[in-house]
Each structure stands twice: as C-alpha cells, then as structure tokens.
Structure 1
Amino acid sequence: MSTLTPAGVEPSPTAPDPATGPRPTRRSGGGGGLGRYVVIRFLLIIPTVLILVTTVFWLMRATGDPITAAQGGRLSPEQLQERIHAAGYDRPIFVQYVEYLGNLLHGDFGTTISDNRPVTEVLTTYGAATLELAVYALIVAFAVGIPLGRIAAARRDRLPDAVLRVSAILSYATPVFFAGLLLKLVFSVSLGWFPVAGRATTGTEIQLEMLDDPTGFYLVDAIRTGDPDAVGDVLMHAVLPAVALGLLTAGVFLRLVRTNMIGTLSTEYVTAARSRGVSERRLVRKHAWRPALIPIITVIGLQIALLLSGAVLTETTFEWKGLGFQLAEYLQARDFVAVQGIVVLIAVVVAVTNFVVDVVAALIDPRVRY
C-alpha cells in the first residue's frame, strides 16, 4: 500500500519512506556511460590511424616516388622509368593513395625497394625484438620510478627528495643515445660486466634459430631451450638497452608518483587519520599509494609512444636488431616503402595501446568517463 503525503500525492521514488527511511538515489547511465565511452574511444582509433597514415604517405611522396629516391643515380634513366612504371608510381598521386589505403585494409604494406622483401615480413621478423625491448624498459621504469617516487613523497622538501627530483629531470632530459653510450663506456668497456651490443652471442642465436617455430622473443625462446646459459646470455645482453630506454620513462613515473602522493597526503581524511595517531608509513601505504597509481596508468599510452620513438636510437646504439634498428637502416637506404610500413605499424600500436589504457583508466577511476 502506497504512502500518501498530506496533500494526497504519492511521494517520489527518492523521497524518504516513513517505514523504511530514506531511499537510495539511483544513478542512471553508469554502465551506459562506460559503454559509450569505450565505443567512442574505439571509434576514434579509425580517424587517428587514418590521419597518421595519410600524413606519412604524403610526407614520403613529397621527395618524389620511392624508386627514384632509393635507386636514383644507380640505374640508367630508361631502367628507372621502367621500374617506376612497373610499380605504378607514374600514376596520379591520389590514385596511388587510394590504392595504398586499399592494400593496407588487406594487410599489404608493400615491398621494400632496397632488399625486395615484403614489408609484413620485416614487421613480423623484427617487431618482436622491439616489443621485447619495450617490455624490458617498462619493467625498469616501474621498478625505478615508482619506489623512488614514494620515497621522494615521504621525504618531501628534504635532501632525498631534492636529489631524486634532480635525478628525475636528468633521466628524461638526457638523450637516450647519450645515456646508452655512457652505459656502454662504463659497464661494458671499462668494467666488462655486460656485452657491448647485440641481443645474444652468436652461439645462443644459432641455438634459438634451431628451435621449431621460434617466437622472435629471445627470452621466451631461450627458456624453451631449457638451457640456463642461454637464458642468462639473453638477459645480460638486455640489461644495458633496457636501462638506457627505461630511465627515460622512470623519471616521468617518479615525478607523477611524488606529486600525486603529496596531494593525497594533504587531503582532509589523511589529516584526520594522522591526528588519530596513524603512522606515516601506514598513511603512505594505505591511503596515498593507490590514488597515486591512477595517473601512471593514464600516461602509460603516451609513454609507450615515447618508448617506441626512443627504441630507434636505443636499438641503433646497442645494435639491437629490431624495428628501430631496421628503420634507421632503411632511412639511410632511402627505402621509403619500408619506412612508411614501419611508421604505420608503430602508429597503429600506439593508437591501440592508448585505447586499452583509456579503458583501464575508466574502469579504475569513473571520473575519467564523465
């Protein structure tokens, strides 16, 4: 039986009930808000990738057709024109652009000019090496940046905090190739602790190539061999490149954790807990730690893009045979078809990574999607 007000009107669904007390208010659109957010973010991948693909295509064509750029001066004018006509580069540029988009939709990135290999083969062969290096670098960034950020926040405006802040600035301001050269000079040349370059010794590489269906991830393949020496060899070769690239991001994580933990420790509920005698260590661990991780999650997408761009210089410095190393080789050969394919793949990886990170951030912090 419904309860009537003195005016004879049935109360609203949110009005307090005399028998049961106040009724909870319903928040409409919670799940729908998340669903719409995910769909919109997913659909934004398409124009993002299209803009990047279009920009790369027109920039590559700004210097002329790829065959003239790569083979000009090496072939006679007649041979050059024959190859240009056979590849279809003498057609209108807009027709080439539409055909290129159609090929991309079918997974065809073209064929390299310098070594006549399908670009997809280059991407699958060397992509695993770059992804492996990026994972190593992220592990270094998390292992260094997050704990040091906690220490800096806990010792705010004291000597450890000042030292760590300066170190963070230096870590992401130092060019990655310069950091790599310093690490090689100190730990490889002077101390001899780590290998100078490469992903593994020649013997280990031969051992990994003899596996059935190698994954391209040296650590995974080394574990599959069951040889501890192979696993150790792969890890020893990965230390210096991972540290050189990981420090680039560790400084960013350190400052983010420090800033957000200081902000959390200044809130009223933390002040109230401190007045009740809760120790600073418990306040940091229970109250300030998790909120400080949310900004880290939201910027991981940007850091992936930074890591992939830094991988070009890192792989060149340490002769790490990945996409970054191959990209530098193809740039020197002026093989714009290969360069275009590698850049497009990196753009797609960055766009998809940002989408995944945005979804995770929305699940953790509902304020992101409202």
Structure 2
Amino acid sequence: MTALTEAPPEAAGVPAPAAKSNGGGLLTYLIIRFLLIIPTILILVTMVFFLMRITGDPITAALGGRLPADQLQERIHQAGYDRPILIQYVEYLGQIFTGNFGRTISDNRAVTEMLATFGTATLELAVNAIVVALVIGIPLGMIAAHRRDKGADAGLRVFAILSYATPVFFAGLLLKLIFAVWLEWTPVAGRATTATELALTQLSAPTGIYWLDALRSGDMAAFWDVESHAILPALALGLLTAGVFLRLVRTNLIGTLGKDYIEAGRSRGVSEFRLVTKHAYKPALIPIITVMGLQIALLLGGAVLTETTFEWKGLGFQLAQYLSARDFVAVQGIVVLLAVIVALTNFIVDVVAALIDPRVRY
C-alpha cells in the first residue's frame, strides 16, 4: 500500500509563501503611529487657536479697559490681530513650526522661555506622581486579586473608587491639613525653601528639576528639602491615578488567574502567592502600560489644580495665573505644549506595548 504524500510547493515550481516579518510589521506600525501624531497635534492646535479667538483678539481681552483706545488699537495693529483670522492662523502655524510661540501680553515674556522655565517643574511633579501611583496601585491591585471577594478586596475597591472620584484639590487640602498643619511633618507649599531655590538656580547649567540639580551638586540637605516639599503634591496627584491602576491590576490578574496554565500550577501544588507574583503578574501589566499614556493627560489636567493648591510653580500654576489675567497668548502656548506632550507620550506607550506584546502590531 502506497502512502500518498503532498509534494512541497517548490517541487511543483511554485515559490513558497514568504514568512511574515515581525520586524517589518513592527516598523510599519511605528511609522503609522508616529505619522498620526501630526494630524492629532494639528487638530488640537487649530481648536485651541479658534477657541482663544472667540472672545476677540488677545490684546483687547488682556488689556481692554486698562489702556486708552488709541494705544490699544496701536498694539492690536502691531501684533497683527486686526488682519483676517485665517491669515493669523496660517502665520501662527508657521511660527509654531519654527519654535516661536510669541510673547505673553501680561508680562511681555517670550512664551518659549516661560515654557522652558516652568515646564521642568510640572515634569518633576508628574514623574513623582506616576511613581506614587505605581507604588500604591500595583501592589494593592495584586493584594485585591489575591484576596478576591474578601474583606481586603472590598476595602481596596472602595479605596480605588474614592481615590479616583475625590477632587484633586480637595485631596490636596486634606493632606495639607493633616500632614503639614496638624502633624507638621511636611512643608505646607512650594517646591523648596527660599535658600535651597536660590542655591539650585545659581548652579552652572541647572536643569530646573530640583532633585536632580541637588544630586548633581552633591547637596543632600537640599535634596531632602526638595523631596519633603514634593511628598504631598505627588501624593495628591498620584492617588488620582493609583485607583485606576489598582482596578486594572485586580481585573487583569483575576482574568489571568483563571487561565489553564495557572490551574496547572495549582494542581502541582504551587502556592497562590507565587502564582500571583511570578506567573500571572507580567501578563496583567500590559493593559497598564497602554492605559498609562491616557493617564498622563489626566495627570497634566490634575496638575493645574495640584500646583495651585500647593503653590508649585509649574505650568499648571502659571496657566491659572494667565487665565486670570486673560493672557490668551500664554494660555495658547501652554495648552499646545501639553497637547504635544500627551501625543508624544501616547506614541512612546504604543512603542513599549508593541515591543512587549507582538499582537498590538497587527
């Protein structure tokens, strides 16, 4: 009896199909994701520009009623705000591409200089808040999954809801009252004491990130001074995201713990703690990496209220000041920068997610 065998495609003169290249798939995915940044930023810039013009020209909005009519019209003409709105829009796009965001109206300061000065403070606060969110959210999420449907799980779920639902300014005021006023463990406000700020700003080529400048100078007293001021703002802002991470870790860990390979581990006598921390933990982190990019936008939005509450002089604090002064040129520059940061952060998160999980690329 002769066995029937199928000849390979090459034997019949037909070329075999090429294997799918993971590298090509990843490169195509990254190029597409990067190119999507351009229309995203363009749409945001356009929306911000026209929304800022709804109330009229920025000069009148900021200085109307404080300058004589002739001086006001002269400044409007010099700034070009009496030209057609579409011409102003095209010119503004050209200025952005060259890195020129104009000058603030209230204090006649280059917007790019203002963004560089205060942007580092917001970056420092956002990084500290992310660290707090990860340190609190991930371990508590693992505990909630491990103690599913028990008292600890119920308590942690309530904590997650409260941390996300509590307004960040209220959480900040409550933390200040408890730890700064009643217990006197931390400073009330600011990024550092006046002496430390003067010392750090006088360093050669300061980065503007105070804890980094303190480490560069080797001044550990200044470092601890900076960190003591950062504890409460980072905690107030980090708790906003910690609740999201807690619920995500819990949900994904519970789903992973029901997989066949986890059940096989249980049947071999592997402890539940080891299953959670070693085998189910890493797969459950992939959604967190994806959501982390979305949380950056939430953190930057919360930074406005956090910085105002703690007098943390970053972009959020300055945004509140410029809004009060109706300085829409400065507001426009800050909002555009925050939009660029969010878009680039989401791209980086997409890259990391694609490297960890190849299914994201297709």
Smaller-chain TM-score range? over 0.9
Q: Distance in 1 between matches of 2:293 and 2:10?
A: 43
Match of 1:10 in 2: 7
1:32-51 alignment, distance < 5 Å: 32-51=24-43
Match of 2:231 in 1: 239
Residue by residue over 1:55-104, the C-alpha shift from the partner in whole angstroms, topping out at 9 and shown as x without a partner, is: 00000000000000000000111111010001000000000000000000
Deviates more, 1:236-245 or 1:222-231: 222-231
1:155-304 alignment, distance < 5 Å: 155-304=147-296
Match of 1:54 in 2: 46
Pick from 109, 132, 135 the counterpart of residue 140 of structure 1: 132
Counterpart AA for 2:199: Q
Is 1:369 aligned to 2:350, yes or no? no
Residue by residue over 1:318-359, the C-alpha shift from the partner in whole angstroms, topping out at 9 and shown as x without a partner, is: 000000000000000000000000000000000000001001
Match of 2:141 in 1: 149
1:77-96 alignment, distance < 5 Å: 77-96=69-88
Match of 1:321 in 2: 313
Match of 1:70 in 2: 62
1:340-359 alignment, distance < 5 Å: 340-359=332-351
Q: Distance in 2 between matches of 1:220 and 1:32?
A: 39
Local SS of the residue matching 1:278: coil
| Alpha-carbon offset, residue 29 of structure 1 | 3.5
Q: Distance in 2 between matches of 1:262 and 1:171?
A: 21
Give unpaired runs (5+ residues) of structure 1: 15-24
Residue by residue over 1:178-233, the C-alpha shift from the partner in whole angstroms, topping out at 9 and shown as x without a partner, is: 00000001111111110000000011111112211111000011112322211111
Superposition CA RMSD, Å: 1.7
Pick from 360, 364, 370 the counterpart of residue 352 of structure 2: 360
Is 1:118 aligned to 2:110, yes or no? yes
| Alpha-carbon offset, residue 12 of structure 1 | 3.1
| Alpha-carbon offset, residue 30 of structure 1 | 2.1
Deviates more, 1:29-38 or 1:360-369: 29-38
Q: Distance in 1 between matches of 2:196 and 2:360?
A: 47
Pick from 317, 323, 329 the counterpart of residue 331 of structure 1: 323
| Alpha-carbon offset, residue 120 of structure 1 | 0.1
Counterpart AA for 1:145: G
Counterpart AA for 1:95: I
Residue by residue over 1:159-182, the C-alpha shift from the partner in whole angstroms, topping out at 9 and shown as x without a partner, is: 000000000000011010000000
Q: Distance in 2 between matches of 1:366 and 1:26?
A: 19
Aligned residue pair count = 357
Q: Distance in 2 between matches of 1:151 and 1:300?
A: 20
Match of 1:305 in 2: 297
Local SS of the residue matching 1:270: helix
Counterpart AA for 2:156: L
TM-score normalized by structure 1?
Answer: 0.94
Q: Distance in 1 between matches of 2:216 and 2:28?
A: 43
Runs of 4+ in 1 over 4 A off after TM superposition: none
Counterpart AA for 1:259: T
Distance 1:274 1:26, change over 3 A: farther
Q: Distance in 2 between matches of 1:89 and 1:180?
A: 40
Q: Distance in 2 between matches of 1:73 and 1:91?
A: 22
Counterpart AA for 1:10: A
Distance 1:248 1:13, change over 3 A: farther
| Alpha-carbon offset, residue 150 of structure 1 | 0.5
Distance 1:245 1:363, change over 3 A: same
Q: Distance in 1 between matches of 2:91 and 2:165?
A: 42
Q: Distance in 1 between matches of 2:243 and 2:258?
A: 23
Local SS of the residue matching 2:214: helix
Local SS of the residue matching 2:76: helix
Q: Distance in 1 between matches of 2:66 and 2:357?
A: 58
Residue by residue over 1:266-311, the C-alpha shift from the partner in whole angstroms, topping out at 9 and shown as x without a partner, is: 1112112211211111211222100111011001110111111100
Q: Distance in 1 between matches of 2:18 and 2:133?
A: 42
